[in-house]
Structure 1
Amino acid sequence: MANGWMPPEEYVRTLPKQTGYACLYFTDEHGNPLQLRSVHAEHAEVWQWPGGNLDAGETPWAAAVRECREETGLDFRGEPRLLLTHFVTPRATWPCPHVGFVFDGGTLTARELAAITLDPAEHGEWAVRSPEAWRDDMDDSTYRRLAAAVEARRTGVAGYLETLNRSGD
């Protein structure tokens, strides 16, 4: 190792490891966010957007579209429009940093919402509510993410959010 230089394959082993997730943020025709109720609430957020973890070699956009199709039956064909990048520090239930990409899925019509077919192994119901009405069903960090996505959609400027977990959270 001359002058502090390492071969890339060696250097990469020294870097922190992290996982990623991607999802689509949809609203109804009144601007109310769509969320899916997880059947795994003891291990995950109770209410979630269609999305999930990236598979090996998968891009965030591909993961968001794939997960949306798997979880809702909706075959999203829009263009990628990033609303929010979300960085989550390690926590007791997830031992490494987690980076999220929230993409704008646009507006769903009443007909499109009625066509949602949930994967019962993942979600038990879906709902659309005003952002304020979601507040009572979400913890503070999850609601901050919702509020950041709402603001990004409103302003047209992608946001960045950090969720800093304390040890043992």
Structure 2
Amino acid sequence: MTARWIPPEEYVKTIANATSYAGFYFTDTAGRPIQLRAVRNEDAWQWPGGNMDPGETPWECALRECFEETQMAFTGPQKLLAVHFITRGSHWPLNKFGVIFDGGRLTDEQIGAIVLDPGEHTELRVHTLQEWEELMSPVGFARLKAADHARHTETVAYLEH
């Protein structure tokens, strides 16, 4: 059987669709993760990041979202920590891919200078992994723990939820 060429506009209708996000994982100088409490779900703790805009790369998205949510202009290197895949379900109609970059360690002064977007987050906290585990959902904590482990082992984590 001979393969038939399909124009890209038709072909994309036959493959999986997904949304995507990108963000930064930050810690303080002691290595304790920094997270933000989400406005739309007060039980959700997350780091600066969000959904990619059309035509945007993961890196561009992470930079934009970080600035929008914290007023912090990240200038560090592009260091990938994790790729996160979330299966579609009752909570979201499409699969979702996430790209998590290492934002490095922030000083107390840098943390104190963060200005949260009140439409996105209500507070910033710094805790040990053990303390975060008590505050977070198992899925959220698994992502946090994987990013932290990837940083410490200088590897890249891959997660599926």
TM-score range, shorter-chain basis? over 0.9
Deviations along 1:10-53, whole A, 9 cap, x unmatched? 211111110000000000000000000011106xx610110000
Q: TM-score, normalised by structure 1?
A: 0.91
2:20 is the counterpart of 1:20:
yes
| 1:40-119 map, 5 Å | 40-41=40-41, 46-119=44-117
Distance in 1, matches of 2:158 and 2:88, equals 17
Alignment length, in residue pairs?
161
AA at the equivalent of 1:9: E
Code of the aligned partner of 1:49:
W
State the distance in 2 between where 1:56 and 1:28 align: 32
User: Which amino acid letter does the alignment assign opposite residue 34 of structure 1?
Assistant: I
List structure 1 segments (4+ residues) > 3 angstroms apart after TM superposition. Answer: none
Is 2:141 aligned against 1:143?
yes
Give distance in 2, aligned partners of 1:135 and 1:25: 16
Q: Secondary structure at the match of 1:3?
A: coil
Q: What is the aligned counterpart of 1:157 among 147, 155, 158?
A: 155
1:31 match: secondary structure: coil
**CA distance in structure 2 between the partners assigned to 1:41 and 1:26 by the alignment:** 21
Residue 91 (structure 1) shift: 2.2
Note the aligned Cα RMSD (angstroms): 1.4
Match in the other structure for 1:166: none
3-state SS of paired residue (1:143):
helix
Equivalent AA in structure 2 for residue 151 of structure 1: H
For 1:38 and 1:102, locate their aligned partners in 2 and report how far apart those are by CA, in whole Å: 18
Give the C-alpha shift of residue 4 in structure 1.
4.0
TM superposition shift of 1:8? 2.6
Aligned residue for 1:56, secondary structure, equals coil
- Indicate the SS of the match to 1:13: helix
The aligned residue for residue 31 of structure 2 is: 31
How far did 1:80 drift?
A: 1.1
Distance in 2 (alpha carbons) for counterparts of 1:24 and 1:35 = 10
Tell me, in whole angstroms, the C-alpha distance in 2 between the residues paired with 1:142 and 1:35: 11
Give the superposition deviation at 1:3: 2.2
Runs of 5+ unmatched residues, structure 1? 164-169
Paired-residue identity, %: 50
CA distance in 2, matches of 1:9, 1:119: 38
Shift of 1:93: 2.1
Q: Mapping of 1:110-129 within 5 angstroms? A: 110-129=108-127
